[in-house]
Amino acid sequence: MKTVLAGAATALIAASAAAPAAFAQDSDWMFRVRALSVMPDEGAAITPIGGSVDISTSIVPELDITYFLSDHLALELILGVTPHDVKAVDTALGEVDLGNVWLLPPTLTVQYHFNPGEQIRPYAGAGVNFTHFFGSDLPSATPLASIGYDDSVGFALQAGVDYQISERWFVNFDLKKIWINTDVTIDAGALGAVTADVDIDPWVFGVGFGWRY
């Protein structure tokens, strides 16, 4: 019996030593740094010249903060800014360069994590986005006098996965669909006022690292 107990104790100690630190007790907070590709799925109704818009894809860094309410439920807030070049296309005036604008789009989602405590941890989420437009800059030598963008509030959907590579570190892949709509007002000088109802609605793909503290 002593031999059996000693063998069992030895096996338990060996198994504990061999178990990866990746499965240590998780804390409530996770911080991630990602590279994002923000790909607008744009469209617009422009009055009175007709046409639509072409908005450039932007690749930017992003920080997000996640707080776990339980093993399965978490809140995530993403923080970052994205610059975009904007053109009006297929209008009665042809293609019109509208310069560039910056977006500050903080997005809060509620997530469900499917495999807490495992090495591969997929999740899905839904939430709300607020987008503030700033730093709009018309091109030089334009006949346009000014351009303004209204802020936006919309929905967001999310899916992703965390892959644990050490006790606290993760590799993360994340995909979001964010609905962003803005009313744009353009002072076209001698041409008068032009307004546009613009849907930006980007797909946002991110890859990066997370640290669970």
pLDDT at 94 over 80: yes
Give the separation between CA 21 and CA 133, rounded to whole angstroms: 44
Sequence-distant (≥ 6) Cβ neighbours of residue 107 within 8 angstroms: 77, 78, 127, 128, 129, 130, 156, 176, 178
Q: How far apart are CA 108 and CA 106, in angstroms?
A: 7
Per-residue model confidence (pLDDT) at position 191: 78
| Average pLDDT estimate for 85-110 | 96
pLDDT of 25: 61
| Residues 51-80: tens digit of each pLDDT | 999 999 999 999 999 999 999 999 999 999
Query: What domains sit in the chain, N to C, each tagged with a CATH number?
Result: 27-212 (2.40.160.20)
- Whether residue 134 contacts residue 117, with contact meaning beta carbons closer than 8 Å, is answered with no
What percent of the chain shows pLDDT beyond 70? Answer: 88
CB 157, CB 175: distance < 8 Å: no
Q: Kindly report, residue by residue over 127-148, the tens digit of the pLDDT.
A: 999 999 999 999 988 889 999 9
pLDDT of residue 18: 42
Residue corresponding to tokens 């989602």: 109
> Mean of the pLDDT values across residues 112-121?
95
Per-residue pLDDT, 23: 47
pTM: 0.84
Q: Are 92 and 130 in contact (CB under 8 A)?
A: no
Q: What is the model's pLDDT at position 143?
A: 87
More confident position, 143 or 203: 203
Cα gap 102→161, rounded to integer Å: 28
Q: What is the pLDDT of residues 170-188, one digit of tens each?
A: 999 999 999 999 999 999 8
Q: What is the dihedral of CA 176, 34, 212, 64, to 10 degrees?
A: -60
Question: Do 39 and 205 meet the contact criterion of CB atoms below 8 Å apart?
Answer: yes
Residues 2-9 have a mean pLDDT of 38
Residue 27 has pLDDT above 90, yes or no: no
Looking at residue 130, its pLDDT comes to: 98
pLDDT at 7 over 50: no
CA distances from 202 to 38, 43, 103, 162, 171 (A): 6, 11, 12, 22, 23
More confident residue, 122 or 1: 122
Is 86:54 a contact under the CB 8 Å cutoff?
yes
